[in-house]
Structure 1
Amino acid sequence: MNKTKVFVIMPFSDDFFESFELMKEHFEENFEFSNAGNEDNQQNILADIITPIYNTDIVLADLTGLNPNVMYELGIAHSFNKKTIIITRDDLSKLPFDLKQYRAKGYSSHFKQFYELLSYLEKNLYGAVDGSVIFNNPVSDFLDKNQLDPQKLFVKEQIDLEIPNNEKG
C-alpha cells in the first residue's frame, strides 16, 4: 500500500526536529513524513523544498515564530493548492491577517498538549485522505480551481511544427 505523503515545513532547530520525529513515528503506518532537512545532498535547498511540496499529498506547516522561510514555503504550497494543516506553538492571534481566516492548531511540546496535537493531526490527515475534511487557502479561495491544478501550471502548450504540403519545397 502506498503511504500518503506529508511534507512538513517548519523552522530548522533541534526542538522542532524532535517534534517532527515524534509525529513521523506516530503516523508511520499510513503516512510518509518528510522535510527539507531529510535531504543529504549539496544542491540548492529550494530543490529540496519546491519539488517535495509539488509532489506531496498534504503539507503540515509549523508557523511557530513566523519564520520567513516557512512563510515562503507555505505560499508555495498554497499556490500548488496543497491540502495544508497549520500548527503553531505561538498564540493563534499572532498569525498574519491573511491566515487568521483559516483553522490552525496551537500546541506545546509538553506531554499532554502534544498528544492533543497528535489527535488533531490524526483527524485532519485521515480527513484529507478520505475527503471528510475540506481544505482551502487564500489562493484557492479567490482563483478558479482549474487555474490551480499543478499539472496545468507546468505543461507547455504543444506547438504543431508541421509544414503545410503546399509550402514544402
Structure 2
Amino acid sequence: MNTNWVSLIGNIERDGNQFTLAPLPPSSYLPPTPNIQPNIPLALLKSSIEFENGIIELEVNLPTPSSICQIGLTSISGGTSSYINSTTEVFSGLNSLGAPYGFAIFKNNSWEPLIGSGQGSSITTQCWHQLRLHVQGSNLELFFDGVKVAITSQQIMRGQISLLLQSHERISVRNIKISAIEPICFVVMQFTDDYNELYEEVIRPTCEKFQYKVLRADDFYSSSVIIDDITRTIRECAIVIADVTPNNPNVFYEVGFAHGIGKPTILLSDRKREKLPFDISGVRTLFYDNTIKGKRNIEEGLRRHLDAITIKQT
C-alpha cells in the first residue's frame, strides 16, 4: 500500500524512504511539541494512511539528546474542524515533556502529560534507533530498540498518522512501516439459548460485515483468571456490544468497566424489560422484540449504530 506524507509545518527533505528535517529560521506557528520550545525548528508531517489498531515502526537518527521524534494518533475525543486548532492527538515517542520516552496529549494548543520514563538518562545520538508503537484498542505500548519503555491507556479513533520532528540540527527518520490489526468487537451477554441465538444469527454476522473480529467471554481458553481476560479484552477491543435485558451482575460490571475507560458501547435490550437501571437509563439503547421480525429490526438497528461509529471514526 502506497503511503503519502505531507509536511503541514516545517522544511522536510525526502530521499526515498527517508525524511529529514532541514532546519530553517523559527516559524510563526505555535510549535505543536510537548516541550514547547519556540526557537527550535520543527516539522509536522501527516500521512494518507487511516490507522486505528496495529503497529507503527520507524528508524530515527537523533542529532542531539534533546531532539524530538514523536508519532501522533487521533484520540476518540478529537474535533472535526481544522487540524491545527481543534484535533486532539496522542503523541508518543522520544523526549516527551522532559522524559526521554513517553506519551502526551495535544488539545486546544495545550499539552497534558500521560506518562514518561527514562528520567535521568539520555538517548545516544548520531546513530539509528528503532521506535515502535503498538496500538490495540485503548492499549498503547511504546518500544525503543525492542525494549518496552512506556505504556498507557487511551482510546484511539481512526485517523491519519502524524509525525513530529524538532531539532536545531538535521534529524532523520526512515523505513516507516505501518501494519493494521483486525479491530475487535467484544460482546457482553448472558450465556443462555435465547441470547446465544441472537449472538450467532444477528450480532456476530452483522459485526463481521464491518470487518470486526467478534469475541465473547466464552471464547477465552487461557489459564488466567477469567476477569483478567475480560478486562484485557475490553481494553483491547474497538467497541463493546452488551445485552442488558436480564439483571446479570457480570454484564453490568463489564458495561461499567467499558464506560469507565471511555470505550464506545452499544446497549441492546428486549422490549419485555420494563425499565433500565437508573445508571444506564440515559444511555442510548437499541430495543428489540424477540421475534423473527424483531431480529431483522435489530440487525438493521445494529448496522446503523455501527455505521455511525464508523463514520465518526473516519
Normalised TM-score (structure 1): 0.71
Question: Which runs of structure 2 are paired with 1:1-169 in the superposition (5 Å)?
Answer: 2-22=181-201, 23-29=203-209, 30-91=211-272, 93-131=274-312
The total of aligned residue pairs comes to 132
Report the alpha carbon displacement of residue 91 of structure 1 after superposing the two structures with TM: 4.0
Q: Which has the higher helix share?
A: 1
Distance of 1:114 and 1:71 partners within structure 2: 23
**AA in 2 matched with 1:119:** E
Distance 1:3 1:111, change over 3 A: farther
Larger Rg: 2
Deviations 1:48-76 (A, max 9, x none): 21011001111101001121110000110
Q: Is 1:91–1:106's contact at 8 Å kept on the other side of the alignment?
A: no
Listed as ranges, the gaps of 5+ residues in structure 2 are 1-179
Q: Distance in 1 between matches of 2:181 and 2:311?
A: 15
Letter in 1 for 2:198: S
Percent identity over paired residues: 31
Distance 1:123 1:2 in 2: 24
- The question of whether the paired residues in 1 share the 8 Å contact of 2:185 and 2:214 is answered with yes
The answer on whether the counterparts of 1:88 and 1:104 sit within 8 Å (CA) in structure 2 is yes
Gaps of 5+ in 1: 133-169
Task: Give the TM-score, by structure 2 length.
Answer: 0.39
RMSD: 1.9
Deviation by residue 1:122-146 (Cα, 9 ceiling, x = unmatched) = 11112112208xxxxxxxxxxxxxx
Pick the structure with more strand per residue: 2
Task: Name which structure has the greater RCO, CA cutoff 8 Å, separation 6+.
Answer: 1
In 2, Cα distance between the equivalents of 1:125 and 1:71?
Answer: 21
The 3 A distance-change label for structure 1 pair 58 and 41 is: same
